[in-house]
A and B are shown apart, each in its own frame.
Chain A
Amino acid sequence: SQTIHQWPATLVQPVGSPLSLECTVEGTSNPNLYWYRQAAGRGLQLLFYSVGIGQISSEVPQNLSASRPQDRQFILSSKKLLLSDSGFYLCAWSGPGILELGELFFGEGSRLTVL
């Protein structure tokens, strides 16, 4: 069966520090991978998605970046965190190809607090 892991689960970082959140998927090949951010009162915002190794689509211009160094690994990074980067970050995957049936499988999330 397929599983998704993301870590760390909780992170407290000072403004200006770097960030690295990691997500891995097991039990499937060539998945589509996603990073979402959930901020209070703002719902679920798509940050990045990837349909293959090295292929990253950015949805929102910001100081975050994403990379996919391996088929089932997706990393969210920042060189210098801002206060506004605080939130709950969710990694998700779907089967390869277009999202016709729409099912995303989400990790348990990483809560980031920037102080």
Chain B
Amino acid sequence: GNSVTQMEGPVTLSEEAFLTINCTYTATGYPSLFWYVQYPGEGLQLLLKATKADDKGSNKGFEATYRKETTSFHLEKGSVQVSDSAVYFCALSDQGGGSNYKLTFGKGTLLTVNP
């Protein structure tokens, strides 16, 4: 079956620090990969996505590269801000792997950025 494993949190950084949140996946078909973000008290929203190997998704200074050889999709940002404090979820959809209508999410990583 499909699964997503992301690094355990919480992650606490100072403003302007470099961020990496690791994500690896297992899929039986041809996955597309996503990062969602959940700000305090809100629902999730899509942050970025990549639909095939070697694609790089980017948004709001965040980046992630779809690495098929290492089955990874690590999230990075060069300089975090206090407003980036949130829970980050890695997810996949697996066309042809029995998951045409749903996403599989990781457990989420809480990021806290201090001023």
Using CB atoms and an 8 Å cutoff, list the residues of chain A in contact with chain B: 32, 34, 41-44, 46, 49, 51, 57, 59, 90, 92, 98-109
A106 touching B108, Cβ below 8 Å: no
Expressed in whole angstroms, the minimum distance between the Cβ of A67 and any Cβ of chain B is 18
If A99-B100, A109-B42 touch, does A43 touch B95 (CB 8 Å cutoff)?
no
Q: Which residues between 68 and 105 of chain B lie within 8 Å of chain A, taking CB atoms?
A: 89, 91-93, 95, 99-105
How many B residues, CB 8 Å from partner? 26
Grouping DSSP codes into helix (H, G, I), strand (E, B) and loop, the B interface class, with mixed when no group exceeds half, is: strand
B106 touching A100, Cβ below 8 Å: no
Q: Chain A: which residue is nearest B99 at the CB level?
A: A99
B43 touching A41, Cβ below 8 Å: no
Q: Does B44 contact A (CB under 8 A)?
A: yes
B93 touching A34, Cβ below 8 Å: no
| Complex Cα–Cα for A49 and B45 (A) | 18
Q: Of A34, A44, A105, A109, which is in contact with the most chain B CB atoms at under 10 Å from its CB?
A: A44
